[in-house]
Amino acid sequence: MQRFACLMIVCCAAGAALGEPHTIDDRAHHLGDNTLPEWKAFTTPEARSAPLKIDFEAAPNATEFTLKIQHRDLHSPWTVTLNGVSLGQLEKGKDPSFTALPVPANTLVAGSNTLVINSRDKKDDVVIGPVQLLDVSPRKVLNLGRVLVTVNDAAGGHVPARLTIIDAKGQLAKTWYTATEKTAVRPGVVYMLGDQTSIELPAGDYVITATRGMEWSMAKSPMTIESGQTATLPLTIQREVDTTGWIAADTHIHTLTFSGHGDASIDERMITLPGEGVELAVATDHNHHTDYRPYQEKLGVCDHFTPVVGNEVTTKNGHFNAFPLPPSGKENVPDWHQSDWVKLIDDIRAHGAKVVILNHPRWPRDDNNPYGNAGLNRGSGDRESGPTRMPMDAMELVNSCDGRTDPLIMLTDWFALLNHGEKLLAVGTSDSHTVYHHVGQGRTYVPSSTDDPSAIDVDQACKAFTDGRILVSYGIFANATVNGKYTLGQVVPVGNKPVKVSLRVACASWVGPRQAIVYVNGIKVAERTIEPHEGPLDTMLTFEGITPPHDGHLVCAVVGDPVDDQAYWMEHPHTFAATNPIYLDADGDGKYTTPRDTAAKRLADIDTVDQLRAALQKVDDAVAVQMFSLLRERWAGDKRSALDALARSMDQDRPLFARYLQDLSTH
């Protein structure tokens, strides 16, 4: 297919009457890299490469004009510049539509003018055009009216927030003349720092909702916009979840500026972080050490969060978030060409990182992801390839922007690895690349000696990560203690006595937790229904009579309804929270023994299937599966066949055995 560096159109826009549209290009251009015969009805099937360049004649514009661009099938950002002046982006969407962009006064020059429409994504097949220039402002073309919005807390002080604006058709509404250095704006979404913000909208009816992440209430108000008129809208939100002693961390955050994809610039990210209540913000652009501090200072948002320099070390064999790191940009970064996990993470730590996290372990596809490529058995934690130990500190249990990292699915992987003996902790993250996707929606709560978000001790926070004293959150806050005093990461002396688990569950009034579950060694040992509630929820659930037959790791999880509101759109079909493990010492030796090590001890004197069958009566399924896994490494021939037959006889109504055997047959 023939390729062009650009497509140049020369036409004349001078001489039309004031207020009439001047067609500066009357064609519909197919840009991209494919031949699409089905597009023959409205454009050429053959694509030409971006950018689209249109040269046209015009006179200077003493007032603001409007550029109207028709388009369809836009899936990536397409930018528009006129004589080198950025006018904005075309609105994404598959259906035929148009974008009207303001042309500031004095942008046009006498004689030749150049319009350029371009995208970084050269594979995005789109149709652009015709293009018209109108010598009136978009305020007239679109019948705009203005609303002045403020967002306050219960005490009357301004608070950063996200505004979601829905039109009468239930769609996200494009705003006009809203972007400033103190806002981050996308269709239907405006992040603001709380003080009065001017928003212009076409005349009509809207619903405007203010939010500030999962700890705060929602303020929702209907609004009628009248053309040429100005209205005011004060909104009040208040904190509904008490997280005293805990700070909200997001350890997976991107910018277009330094990651090269997504759409949130570094300045916009400084506005979205306070707007979602993120207090510890770890910058993790791909293979880049990003320092937020200069941008924080420039925009005056230092009081809202503590920044941490990090890096999403992006390899062909997985992505790893690492922090803290020196603010060196692209210089002196870990060797992201390294595919051996142990060598890679040793190198990451040599660069200064105290915390290393495996990101989205089941991304990007079923047939290509870190755990799948390693041949992870989701029943036993065995791996066919890769390192003999997991060298990272944690894995993402929640990634709120990756639809594949569903926490209910990832729990299975995590429990299998814990049962296999890995000391692998769980975190929640957002992985937000854009303004629209909520940064901090998936988050990790970290204990802190201060509740001042600008004064968080980063070293203290890192130690909490590696000690396992952290909570995973996706809309719900949950924390647990055992026997009234033992908490995350601690070893509980149990002996042969039952333990009492106390689980605090808290959420905002617009979140609905439904089920609380206690797992020991990944096996559900207790659960409780959480009844619907009015207003915010903060309740303590108690589970008694849990008696482990041997040492075990105890994890609590809470699952809730999805948030059915466009103001807090969620990728996954539920809200969620989980603790990290509390360790149960049932044998009284003063330490925690993993299920795999327990299995090895129980197998010391076992040499026949009959002996194994008797031993299995005294252990839970997690240890039993580890016993089978270890014996499969030792036994061969008839003994291996008898072992497998015994395992198959145990898989009915025993999910862990069924999962172990299923993965054993497929790997």
> For 107-164, what is each residue's pLDDT tens digit?
999 999 999 999 988 888 899 999 999 999 999 999 999 999 999 999 999 999 999 9
Residue of 357, 293, 298 whose CA lies nearest to 323: 357
**Six-digit token pair at 291?**
């320092």
- C-alpha–C-alpha distance, residues 331 and 533, integer Å: 52
Report phi then psi at 529, rounded to 5.
-80, 135
**pLDDT beyond 80 at 19:** no
**pLDDT beyond 80 at 631:** yes
CA–CA–CA angle 602, 607, 612 (5° rounding): 55
**Six-digit token pair at 422?**
């890995």
Class for the domain spanning 7-140: mainly beta
Fold of the CATH domain 142-236: Immunoglobulin-like (2.60.40)
Average pLDDT score over residue span 555-562: 97
Band of pLDDT at residue 664, cut at 50, 70 and 90: confident
Task: Check residue 139 and report its DSSP letter.
Answer: H
> For 86-105, what is each residue's pLDDT tens digit?
999 888 888 898 999 999 99
Give residue for tokens 């503590």.
306
Give residue for tokens 């500066």.
24
**Six-digit token pair at 643?**
């072992």
Does the model's pTM come out above 0.85? yes
Alpha-carbon distances, residue 458 vs 210, 280, 586 (angstroms): 30, 8, 35
Query: Which SS3 state, helix, strand or coil, does residue 432 take?
Result: strand
Gyration radius from the chain CA atoms = 29
**pLDDT beyond 70 at 185:** yes
Among the residue ranges 77-91, 244-258, 287-301, the one predicted with the least confidence is 77-91
Its sign, for the CA torsion 421, 423, 429, 432, is negative
- C-alpha–C-alpha distance, residues 364 and 213, integer Å: 27
Average pLDDT score over residue span 213-232: 97
Average per-residue pLDDT for the chain: 93
- C-alpha–C-alpha distance, residues 66 and 539, integer Å: 55
> For 226-248, what is each residue's pLDDT tens digit?
999 999 999 999 999 999 999 99
**pLDDT beyond 90 at 653:** no
> For 480-537, what is each residue's pLDDT tens digit?
999 999 999 999 999 889 999 999 999 999 999 999 999 999 999 999 999 999 999 9
Report phi then psi at 637, rounded to 5.
60, -135
**Six-digit token pair at 54?**
């249109």
Among the residue ranges 191-205, 295-309, 555-569, 649-663, the one predicted with the least confidence is 649-663
* % of the chain with per-residue pLDDT over 90: 84
Q: Within 13 Å of residue 410, how many CA atoms lie on the same side as its CB?
A: 32
* % of the chain with per-residue pLDDT over 70: 97
Phi-psi domain of 638 (left: phi exceeds 0; alpha: psi -120 through 50; beta: other) = alpha
pLDDT at 440: 98
Q: What is the architecture of the domain spanning 475-591?
A: Sandwich (2.60)
Q: Hey, which residues does 48 pair with through a beta bridge?
A: 31
- Structural domain spans, the chain: 7-140, 142-236, 252-461, 475-591, 595-666
Q: Which CATH number fits domain 252-461: 3.30.390.10, 3.40.50.300, 3.40.50.720, 3.20.20.140?
A: 3.20.20.140
pLDDT at 14: 35
**pLDDT beyond 60 at 17:** no
**pLDDT beyond 70 at 5:** no
Strands 161-167 and 189-192, bridge-based pairing? antiparallel
- C-alpha–C-alpha distance, residues 254 and 450, integer Å: 26
- C-alpha–C-alpha distance, residues 450 and 473, integer Å: 20
pLDDT at 1: 31
Average pLDDT score over residue span 414-423: 98
pLDDT at 496: 85
pLDDT at 540: 98
Asked if the domains at 7-140 and 252-461 fall in one CATH topology, the answer is: no
Average pLDDT score over residue span 328-348: 93
**pLDDT beyond 60 at 3:** no
> For 586-615, what is each residue's pLDDT tens digit?
999 999 999 999 999 999 999 999 999 999
**Six-digit token pair at 17?**
């009457």
Order the strands of the 425-429 sheet from edge to edge. Answer: 311-315, 318-323, 355-358, 394-399, 425-429
> For 538-552, what is each residue's pLDDT tens digit?
999 999 999 999 999
The residue with greater pLDDT, 15 or 342, is 342
CB-CB contact of 560 with 496 (8 Å): no
